[in-house]
Amino acid sequence: MNKAEVQSKIEQLSKELEEHNYNYYVLSQPIISDYEFDMLLKELQQLEQQFPEFATANSPTKRVGGDITKTFPTVLHKYPMLSLSNSYSQEEITDFEKRVHKLIGSDVGYVCELKYDGVAIGIRYKNGELAMAVTRGDGEKGENITANVKTIRSIPLKLKEGDYPEEFEIRGEIFFPLDKFQSLNEEREKAGEPLFANPRNTASGTLKMLDSKVVAGRKLDCYLYGFYSDENQFKDHFESIVKTGKWGFKSPLPEKKMIALCSNIDEVMDFIGYWDNERHNLNFEIDGVVIKVNSYKQQKQLGFTSKFPRWAIAYKFKSEQAVTVLNSISYQVGRTGAITPVANLKPVLLAGTTVKRASLHNADQIAKLDVRIGDTVFVEKGGEIIPKIIEVNLEFRVHSSEPISYVKECPECDTELIRKEGEANHYCPNEVGCPPQIKGKMEHFISRRAMNIDGIGQETIELLYQKGLAKNIGDLYDLTFEKLFDLESFKEKKAQNILNGLEASKQIPFENVLFALGIRYVGETVAKKLAKHFKTIDNLMSASFEELIEAEEIGDKIAESILDYLDKEENRVLIEKLKSVGLQFETRHVEVLHATPLWGLNFVVSGVFSKFSRDELKAEIEKHGGKNVGSISGKTSYIIAGENMGPSKKEKAEKLGVDIIDEDEFIKMIS
Ligand code: IVH
């Protein structure tokens, strides 16, 4: 391919990928498989790597993140970003209508929309391309978080064909889809990391992260609900929503009743009633409904108070509550030994599901609520996924009841619990002898994102533990065919599968091994950073506190946790054992090469050079991840030409469109 062909290939791939993105993330109707999508993206990534001059700011490759932001610069909003006044009853909505009628007469149409419980964002487009994304901030100025917003796949980087003005801003709400939020917390639980409390705050925190790659991994989403432009061609709000949807934005759809035209307050109340029920079936949280006067002309006539638009109001849903009785409290022991108190309730129906348990967080929370066994309690499903007890109804308290005395010993192994200063949770310190901790650590070790050991699941771990075949992670590697085959319910194939899985795990990279060890606060990302920084387990094991916090993203808490872990004899023994069976405890050379500038490129070296001998040049190519090939073909990426390159080679290169570079250009590529 010559350069013009490369450029047009890049353009074509970008367009195709953006279209598939739209089909998948906006329409939820993908027409190719994830695998095919990944292949196209990979092709584009490789081309952009080889020809960085053709990589654009809004290429679909930006979706995967990678840009690191040091600070988020403050940006002045072109149109102030206001909030809405809240209402909680039909009466207040009727009052709103009265105010509107008084100011502009009674010929008014309304639009009802969902009130998304997320983070407001203003996104500016210029010539059909995303130019900048700004948070609300104080309403006058916000923060430029463009790189992070570009990773949100339902937000178009380039618009489809359309009659949009040269410059406009679209506003909406970024949120954490509930299924994605749940998986994130499940992963964190496995990694022994503290859980995120609710999707809204997590979305907000995610958008302020400095590494856009992490943001990309969180899979946020966004609905758009406001169009702003000096050249606004629409007559009303409803039209703007429908039209912007056609340009590629994820706009609420009338056919899904996510937006509706209403001609009076009765219709508005119907919309509210419908969503008060239906909201539990959405994969995102809403906390109410927004009612807007539809006509732009009328909006203008109504104007603003000092704080809010007079043409819109929010109706907030009440958090659903139920009354029930606290039967007992149980204490769960996690893989890291953290104790979580759980309230066992008399089953009660709340927001469409039967609630039997509620989270009580920790000892302080129990003391604060002064909740006692037998108490009548109010439970609420608020922003949090697991319902919580919000209050005790003291009227029904049994006089003989006593304050809860929090467990002092581990409910599983009777070891005395400890609570470190400044920490909310109690811990069972018996890491090596407490069954749920041992099994939890093994389950984490074999899990897909850690060692990914085929053939073993939670049930197998339970069985191996019960039968005394695996009392810690290291024991897994002492399993033999005979030992496994002896177990009832184990067929030959299953036993062999497990052994194969264990054998294959010896090739799993160091960063996964580090994550799999289950060190507190060392989740996947931290493990990656540690592996990259320290390269070998020996370096990590001999690092001091100061050396640990020098590594990227490693703070005091993580450093202390690593030192604590490595201080324990049993953990050092475990690492030695895993080393001796052949697990990876060093970053492998091949991975270093992946990150090198010539990765994936094929070179032909021809002629005589002044700065290198031919062998030196070939060695440099390999050192930087490139490959030397003998003859020119369509797969050749570059020819490095010295003096006296043969004319036939030159001719062939030109015919195949292979780029010819000199040694100086090559030096630039590797420097
Ligand atoms: S319109 C001037 N529409 O709720 C009116 N806001 O307290 C601008 N929100 O700041 C807002 N869903 O972050 C509007 N369909 C919707 C909304 C919505 C959620 C948020 C937004 C706003 C806050 C108002």
Number of domains the chain contains: 6
Whether 363 shows a pLDDT value over 60: the answer reads yes
Tell me: the pLDDT tens digits for 398-450?
888 999 999 999 999 999 999 988 888 999 999 889 999 999 999 999 988 89
Of all protein residues, the one whose alpha carbon is nearest to atom 6 of ligand 1 is: 115
Tell me: the pLDDT tens digits for 610-659?
888 888 898 888 888 788 888 888 778 899 998 888 888 888 888 887 88
Distance CA 175, CA 202 (A): 9
Tell me: the pLDDT tens digits for 284-303?
999 999 999 999 999 999 99
Q: Which of 491, 507, 523 lies at the terminal end of a domain, its last residue?
A: 507
Measured from the Cα of 114, ligand 1's closest atom is: 15
Whether 591 shows a pLDDT value over 80: the answer reads no
Q: Phi/psi at 506 (nearest 5 deg)?
A: -70, -10
Distance CA 461, CA 446 (A): 9
Scanning 199-325, the segments in alpha helix (DSSP H) are: 199-207, 212-218, 237-246, 265-278, 296-302
State whether residue 370 is helix, strand or coil: coil
- Could you tell me the CATH number of the domain that includes residue 332? 2.40.50.140
Residue to probe by mutation, ligand 1, list 81, 116, 244, 299, most atoms within 8 Å of CB: 116
Contact 381, 319 (CB under 8 A): yes
- Provide residues with CB under 6 Å of ligand 1: 82-84, 113-116, 120, 173, 225-226, 290, 309, 312, 314
Tell me: the pLDDT tens digits for 509-546?
999 999 999 998 898 889 999 999 999 999 999 999 99
Of all protein residues, the one whose alpha carbon is nearest to atom 9 of ligand 1 is: 115
Contact 66, 213 (CB under 8 A): yes
Distance CA 449, CA 432 (A): 23
SS3 content of the chain, % helix, strand, coil (to 5): 40, 20, 40
In a domain, 75, yes or no: no
In a domain, 596, yes or no: no
- Could you tell me the CATH number of the domain that includes residue 494? 1.10.150.20
Which residue is it, tokens 């020809």?
A: 51
Which of 97-106, 568-577, 661-670 shows the lowest mean pLDDT across its residues?
661-670
Q: What is the pLDDT of residue 305?
A: 84
Whether 476 shows a pLDDT value over 50: the answer reads yes
Distance CA 626, CA 640 (A): 13
Which residue is it, tokens 């149980």?
A: 330
Average of per-residue pLDDT across 454-469: 88
In a domain, 52, yes or no: yes
Average of per-residue pLDDT across 216-225: 96
pLDDT band, residue 382 (cuts 50/70/90)? low
pTM of the model: 0.60
Q: What is the pLDDT of residue 589?
A: 57
Calculate the CA dihedral of residues 235, 236, 238, 240 and round it to 10 degrees.
60
Whether 482 shows a pLDDT value over 90: the answer reads no
Measuring CA to CA, which residue among 598, 602, 663 is closest to residue 634?
Answer: 602
The boundaries of the domain holding residue 570 are 510-580
Measuring CA to CA, which residue among 261, 271, 222, 255 is closest to residue 239?
Answer: 261
Kindly report the number of other CB atoms within 10 A of residue 111's CB atom: 25
Whether 353 shows a pLDDT value over 60: the answer reads yes
Same domain for 176 and 27:
no
Element housing 654 (H / E): helix 647-656
Mean pLDDT value across the chain = 90
Rg (CA), the chain: 30
Measuring CA to CA, which residue among 306, 244, 314, 265 is closest to residue 286?
Answer: 314
Looking at the chain, the whole-number percentage of residues with pLDDT higher than 70 is 98
Has 235 been annotated as catalytic? no
Catalytic residue among 62, 115, 219, 439: 115
Q: Which of 484, 507, 530 lies at the terminal end of a domain, its last residue?
A: 507
Tell me: the pLDDT tens digits for 130-169?
999 999 988 889 999 999 999 999 999 999 988 999 999 9
Q: What is the pLDDT of residue 592?
A: 46
Same domain for 289 and 174:
yes
Looking at the chain, the whole-number percentage of residues with pLDDT higher than 90 is 63
Q: What is the pLDDT of residue 593?
A: 44
Which amino acid would we find at residue 48?
A: E
- Could you tell me the CATH number of the domain that includes residue 110? 3.30.470.30
